[in-house]
Amino acid sequence: MNLTHNLVVATLMTIVTTVILGLIYPLVVTGLAQVLFPDQANGQLIERDGRIVGSRIIGQGFSSEGYFRSRPSATAVPYDASNSGGSQYGPTNKKLIDAVTANVEAARKENPTAPVPIDLVTASASGFDPHLSPAAADFQVLRVARERGMSEADLRQLVRTHTEGRQLGFLGEARVNVLELNLALDRERPMKK
């Protein structure tokens, strides 16, 4: 074998694998995803009044009165999707301890008699978890009911309606999608302007 032959074979192999694995395969997988799972392939976007308001799978911050709040975000600019990732702080890190302590104090002002659920004071690994535990949603019921002028019982029922069970009955934990809950809250009891 000579060097020229090897170079030609290597170049052709590079071109063929690039076309197959870099063009054809991604196009086939994308096409199949669009046909078989269009909602998932397009980011599980949620529309309201013809406008995209978010995604079922990416958390976002809610700070306005009368809304359920999401988990804290670990990104430098809260909920900045271009910078996802956890804080990487260990359990003995002073910055983490101070942040959790401040979050607990803020939560206790909202509901001083109830234990504070951990997911209200710590960020998820990605920093963009769209879900809260049912306990974290329940913790916020007093505040949201007061700010919306609705009964706690009605609001708890709305939370139960939007609580998703474990996947396949045994994977993960029960959870509440914060965006979907807040959108349902706006439909049920719009904020007075």
Q: Are 72 and 119 in contact (CB under 8 A)?
A: no
Q: What is the chain's mean pLDDT, rounded?
A: 89
pLDDT, position 85: 66
Reading the block at residue 127, the tokens are 């920093």
Helix axes 141-148, 152-161, angle to 10 degrees: 120
pLDDT in tens, 68-102: 999 988 776 777 766 766 667 888 989 889 989 99
Q: Kindly report the pTM of this predicted structure.
A: 0.79
Q: Where are the domains of the chain?
A: 1-42, 43-188
Positions of the chain with pLDDT under 70: 1, 76, 81-82, 84-87, 193
